[in-house]
Amino acid sequence: MEDANLDLTALLLQVATQRSKAAYGQLFHYFAPRIRHYGLRHLRSEARAMELVQDTLLAVWQKAALYHPEKGAPTTWIYTVMRNQCFDMLRRQQVSKEDLVAEDLWPVLEYQAVEDDENDPGENEILTRQLTHYLHLLPPAQQEVVRGVYLLEQTLQEIADRLQIPLGTVKSRLRLGLSKLREQIEQEHEHD
């Protein structure tokens, strides 16, 4: 094992107690390639693997005081930080995919916008007006989330923070709300 003479516990404690940049540099040099390797395997992208390295080692710098040697090895602690960062990145990636699924609502509205486009008030204005027209059909909690995402252009995290609810709840409300809206719009369109 390379760097076998490195005392990782001592280095991490120096970062925790003295904010030692030299000790942090040694930890960075030791862990960066290992974290990158883990990131490549799990995130399948060099850029995202490097983002994982940066996020993990920044968290190690910021949270070093939370490390207690009596509870485990420094490698265990740092790899736990790394896995948590990786899970967060994968979750954010999943949110992006869910945002793409949420975009399924717009083609239905856009189709109607083309039909309604007599005075050409602008595509965004038409879509906003139509979404507002259908929004009242949703329960208040779902209305709040759909309005936040599409009319106020807030991120899911901003909505979760504002409403003081878990991010997962916001995602569920968005998914349910969009599903109901899409059904309603398609039903009305079939009857036209």
For residues 30-44, one letter each, b for 16 or more C-beta atoms within 10 angstroms of the residue's C-beta and e for the rest, the string is: bbeeebbebbeebbe
pLDDT at site 192 = 56
- In angstroms, the CA 143 to CA 20 distance is 50
Residue with tokens 């189709």, as numbered in its chain: 111
- In angstroms, the CA 80 to CA 34 distance is 13
The one-digit pLDDT tens for each residue of the chain (192 residues) are 445 568 999 999 999 999 999 999 999 999 999 999 988 888 888 888 999 999 999 999 999 999 999 988 999 999 989 988 988 888 777 666 555 444 444 444 444 444 444 444 444 565 667 777 788 889 999 999 988 887 777 888 889 999 999 988 998 898 888 888 878 777 776 665
Distances (CA, A) of 71 to 11, 63, 144, 190: 16, 15, 44, 63
Please name which of 88, 80, 82, 69 lies closest in space to residue 15, comparing C-alpha atoms.
69
pLDDT at site 104 = 46
Half-sphere exposure of 69 (CA within 13 A, CB side): 10
pLDDT at site 156 = 84
* 61, 24 contact by CB (below 8 A): yes
